[in-house]
């Protein structure tokens, strides 16, 4: 749970520990270095009371525990000993017999004790809340679950404890005093707000409402000062690449952020269509509370330029908002063209166009993974963050969650906060908080599956929706299930392919007189399906890097566009059934 030191910097918290092997109460007490009266047994493990705090060098609440490194230990083994609550540090070498301090993830709330719970297979939001007697809405809000009811195996959830000791300590006399004082404070505060509102609206006209807030101006000043070059050093962005726009310019071009100009809504703000310096632009409006995401995106897009990355034109601040000004992608986001496109006024994408889009996006990711220093991990690769220009060429967008890798693309960086979008998150990232470029590869594999099927990354399970929660099935599960049919590798795949792909006919696919184009398209569809499967491999080390993904997609695109077979005898089905290389020929 993210720190909030203004609320509290430490608390008493609970960890729901389920050992991987049978374990006694005494063994658990010894492992966690706590008194036995702070450990209670449960039906499948132990509920452990720990001291939870927010150290100065941490973004998350943690509990410190001393651990003596054993022979054969790895970070994965150590974490599993503690129920996978340990924040792993893969860059730190474990030395046998050395005593180290482990950080176990926990949470603090100003009202109740929180239980840290690791989600296991079969759990749903409803069953977890029922088990602990917790309120679903409160638990969802506490954990930021934005997809109703969907949770991911391996995630840590923070559940309000119903019998919090913190609540039991207050006595009636204290409540009476606090209640009386609270009433007086509320009355005075309300009166002050009324007077302030009257004065504010008397003194402020339209011009003052447009002026930049101090906070927003300060952030912009901070960024500009941090990017000033040292002596004999070039600035990392040039004035012809990024322009500082005034707040008035942004207001005027968006018609004061009129709804008619709104073209999108993201996790960090709204996007408006504008026209600045003779060109159409997309303007992302962010509250100044999102300064971290604003500065992250501004920083990378001022440094990195590639035809398959959305171009930053400029930025602005004002009215308690921060603004990023991008090139305008005329055809919007890829997801709009895949999920019921005809209902949104789009013509379904052809197979060749889909492969080209995949290759474009792969090249953009390859660039930030391989050809920049430091290396970058996007951390939110998804079809809604792939934008299409007037020629349906793809550009990666939304770099607010980007993570820097200083040493090597495949050397992970530990992160204590899991960010991104459900359905696209790599399992090791969710489980261990370790992010590498292979995390993006997993997400890209899901994008390939969407291009193949036309389905979203998460699908509601029919009949599971209630007033309180909804069950979902991931597209990854659906596709992997289809690709497990070893006897006929194409039969199940054809059932998953997007019906909007009209270039081939599934009914005639296996007939001897099927035309060559149909065979070739099915060949390239199968090759992309295998590539998507490789990208979402549970073992991140077995996933291809984006360089290999680009090569394989280039081959798939060539096959699609050539309209002729590489095999003169047309032995496609034999090739597909025995395709074990999974590499670009």
Angstrom distances, CA of residue 201 to CA of 196, 205, 485: 9, 8, 69
Q: DSSP states of 57-96 as a string?
A: T-SB-EEEEEEEPPTT--HHHHHHHTTT-B---TTSPP-T
3-state secondary structure of 132: helix
Name the catalytic one among 103, 360, 380, 398: 380
Alpha carbon distance 501, 495 (integer Å): 12
Using CB atoms within 10 A of its CB, is residue 476 exposed (0-12), middle (13-18) or buried (19+)? buried
- Pure H helices in 390-515: 427-432, 437-453, 475-482, 491-496
Q: From CA 25, how far away is CA 36, in angstroms rounded?
A: 8
Are 333 and 383 within 8 A, CB to CB?
Answer: yes
Name residues whose C-beta falls within 8 Å of residue 326's C-beta, 6 or more positions apart in sequence: 281, 282, 283, 284, 310, 311, 312, 313, 397
Residue that has been written with the tokens 């005034």 in this structure: 246
CB 136 within 8 A of CB 129: yes
344 annotated as belonging to a binding site for a ligand: no
Chain centroid, CA 548 distance in Å: 23
Is 380 tagged catalytic? yes
Helix (H, G, I), strand (E, B), or coil: what is residue 126? Answer: helix
Please give the annotated binding residues for ATP, written as ranges: 284
Please give the annotated binding residues, written as ranges: 284
Q: Would you name the residues annotated as active-site residues?
A: 380
């Amino acid at each position: 749970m993210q720190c909030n030191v203004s609320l509290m910097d430490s608390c008493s918290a609970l960890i729901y520990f389920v050992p991987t092997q049978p374990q006694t109460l005494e063994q658990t007490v010894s492992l966690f270095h706590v008194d036995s009266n702070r450990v209670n047994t449960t039906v499948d493990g132990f509920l452990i009371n720990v001291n939870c705090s927010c150290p100065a060098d941490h973004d998350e609440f943690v509990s410190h525990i001393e651990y003596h490194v054993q022979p054969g230990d790895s970070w994965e083994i150590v974490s599993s000993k503690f129920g996978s609550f340990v924040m792993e540090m893969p860059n730190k070498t474990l030395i046998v017999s050395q005593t180290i301090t482990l950080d176990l993830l926990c949470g603090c709330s100003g009202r109740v004790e929180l239980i840290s719970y690791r989600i296991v297979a079969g759990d749903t939001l409803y069953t977890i809340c029922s088990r602990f007697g917790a309120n679903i809405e409160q638990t969802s809000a506490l954990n930021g679950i934005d997809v109703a009811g969907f949770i991911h195996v391996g995630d840590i959830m923070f559940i309000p404890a119903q019998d919090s000791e913190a609540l039991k300590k207050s006595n009636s006399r204290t409540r009476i005093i606090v209640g009386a004082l609270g009433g007086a404070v509320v009355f005075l505060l309300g009166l002050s707000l009324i007077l302030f509102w009257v004065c504010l609206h008397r003194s402020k006209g339209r011009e003052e409402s447009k002026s930049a807030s101090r906070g927003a101006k300060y952030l912009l000043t901070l960024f500009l000062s941090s990017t000033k070059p040292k002596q004999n050093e070039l600035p990392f962005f040039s004035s012809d690449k990024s322009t500082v726009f005034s707040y008035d310019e942004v207001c005027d071009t968006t018609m004061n952020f009129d709804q008619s100009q709104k073209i999108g809504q993201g996790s960090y703000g709204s996007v408006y269509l504008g026209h600045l310096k003779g060109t159409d632009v997309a303007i992302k409006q962010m509250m100044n509370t999102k300064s971290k995401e604003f500065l992250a995106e501004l920083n990378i897009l001022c440094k990195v330029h590639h035809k398959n990355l959305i171009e930053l034109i400029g930025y602005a601040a004002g009215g308690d908002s921060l603004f990023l000004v991008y090139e305008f992608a005329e055809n919007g986001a890829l997801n709009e063209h895949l999920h019921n496109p005809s209902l949104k006024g789009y013509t379904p994408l052809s197979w060749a166009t889909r492969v080209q889009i995949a290759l474009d996006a792969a090249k953009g990711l390859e660039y930030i993974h391989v050809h920049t220093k430091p290396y970058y991990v996007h951390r939110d690769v998804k079809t809604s963050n792939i934008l299409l220009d007037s020629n349906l060429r793809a550009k990666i967008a939304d770099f607010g969650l980007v993570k820097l890798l200083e040493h090597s693309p495949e050397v992970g960086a530990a992160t204590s906060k899991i960010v991104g979008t459900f359905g696209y998150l790599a399992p090791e990232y969710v489980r261990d908080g370790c992010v590498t470029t292979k995390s993006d590869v997993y997400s890209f594999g899901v994008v390939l599956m969407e291009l193949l099927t036309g389905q979203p990354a998460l699908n509601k399970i029919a009949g599971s929706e209630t007033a309180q929660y909804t069950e979902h099935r991931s597209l990854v599960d659906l596709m992997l299930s289809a690709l497990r049919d070893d006897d006929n590798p194409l039969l199940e795949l054809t059932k998953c392919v997007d019906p909007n792909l009209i270039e081939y006919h599934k009914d005639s696919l296996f007939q001897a007189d099927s035309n060559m184009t149909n065979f070739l398209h099915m060949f390239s569809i199968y090759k992309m399906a295998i590539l998507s499967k490789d990208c979402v491999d549970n073992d991140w080390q077995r996933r291809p890097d984006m360089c290999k993904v680009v090569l394989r997609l280039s081959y798939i695109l060539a096959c699609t566009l050539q309209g002729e077979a590489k095999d003169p005898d047309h032995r496609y089905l034999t090739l597909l059934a025995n395709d074990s290389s999974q590499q670009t020929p």
